[in-house]
Amino acid sequence: MSFFKKLKESIASKTEAVTNIFKEGLTKTRTAIVEKVEELITRRKKIDEEFYEELEEILIGADVGVNTVMQLIDDLRVEVKKQKIENASDLQPILSEKLVGLLKGDNNPGLQMSKNGGITVILFVGVNGVGKTTTIGKLAHKYKSEGKSVLLAAGDTFRAGAIEQLEVWGQRVGVDVIKQSSGSDPAAVMFDAVQAAKQRGVDILLCDTAGRLQNKTNLMEELNKIFRVIQREIPDAPHEVLLVLDATTGQNALSQAKLFGEKSGVTGLVLTKLDGTAKGGIVIAIRNELNLPVKLVGLGEKMTDLQEFDSEQFVHALFAGLIQRETENASEEQ
């Protein structure tokens, strides 16, 4: 069975609505990668050095990342020799299969929840302007629509308007926000939020934090203090520390992820604004160059456009046109 057929069958069991959100959200990236690859294959029927060079340029242009692209091209060379492939068109399913492999990594876990059925605490970190507050609001909406009770903690007490912005989202979604005045100690806000979550018996506590990278030492000290306050009250928390990155910044997002790194206790990544960029290849670069899974992706403006990351949906969305064509050709042959 061809790889595209297997991918199509795997997607068939998933909800059509989610498949469509991925397809629509990745339109610009699909144009940047797949359509250019198709054009290259049509133009250059044979696989030679110039073909590899052009393919390399296309992938680097879509921010797949130099190291990742080099590895990918080396892997393709091996497959071409092994399978004695001569026609460039036979390379497309192999390329897409390699991309699924890169995106899956060793593990692709969903968001981690409290194991004992207690309060799940999710902490959000990231620089200002990446869409942190919007992500928290949309995730609150997702959990609420699943019937869970949610509370928000306004721990970004330094940025002007950050508390108000979270309150607006709280009102839109219909969840309460625990806050103090601007400039307060973020750890004190977290203490209040955890106490309130315990008293109310909520399922999920989503915590915003200050987005500063200028002085990394202060940021780490602040995060450590927040961790200690939360862990004193809920020993197995926080269950996730999500670093929010703006996909439209491409390689800059990768640099931010490296800067925050695992030292800050980050357990996973959120990539926002994927619908607004042709550089969606950054998902592949980040997944491959950092030992951190992508947990959530922002694929549009709507509340439902924040989705749990799914490597098969991602690749299916990129190669949707090819999969459709292969299906039609197979039907005609029958």
Q: Domain for residue 82, yes or no?
A: yes
Q: CA nearest 21: which of 10, 11, 6, 34?
A: 11
Q: Domain for residue 231, yes or no?
A: yes
**pTM score, whole prediction:** 0.87
Highest mean pLDDT among 35-44, 107-116, 138-147, 312-321: 138-147
Q: Quick one: how far is CA 169 from the chain centroid?
A: 21
Domain count, the chain: 2
- Domain span including residue 146: 120-310
Q: 298 and 178 in one domain?
A: yes
**pLDDT score at 266:** 87
Q: 153 and 85 in one domain?
A: no
Angstrom distance (rounded) from CA 99 to CA 284: 7
46 burial class (0-12, 13-18, 19+ CB within 10 angstroms)?
A: exposed
Q: 301 and 228 in one domain?
A: yes
Per-residue pLDDT at 307 exceeds 60: yes
Q: 77 and 55 in one domain?
A: yes
What CATH number is attached to the domain comprising 10?
Answer: 1.20.120.140
Q: Domain for residue 115, yes or no?
A: no
Rounded mean pLDDT, 63-79: 90
Q: Domain for residue 112, yes or no?
A: no
Q: CA nearest 279: which of 4, 28, 76?
A: 28
Q: 98 and 237 in one domain?
A: no
Least confident of 55-64, 74-83, 213-222: 213-222
Percent of the chain past pLDDT 90, that is, above it, reads: 41
Per-residue pLDDT at 245 exceeds 60: yes
Q: Domain for residue 90, yes or no?
A: yes
**pLDDT score at 214:** 46
Q: Domain for residue 159, yes or no?
A: yes
Q: 267 and 128 in one domain?
A: yes
Q: 293 and 181 in one domain?
A: yes
Angstrom distance (rounded) from CA 332 to CA 327: 9
What CATH number is attached to the domain comprising 133?
Answer: 3.40.50.300
Q: CA nearest 21: which of 248, 302, 323?
A: 302
Residue 323 · residue 4 · CB < 8 Å: yes
Q: 293 and 174 in one domain?
A: yes
What is the DSSP code (8-state) at residue 272? E
Q: Domain for residue 113, yes or no?
A: no
Q: 124 and 188 in one domain?
A: yes
Q: 321 and 207 in one domain?
A: no
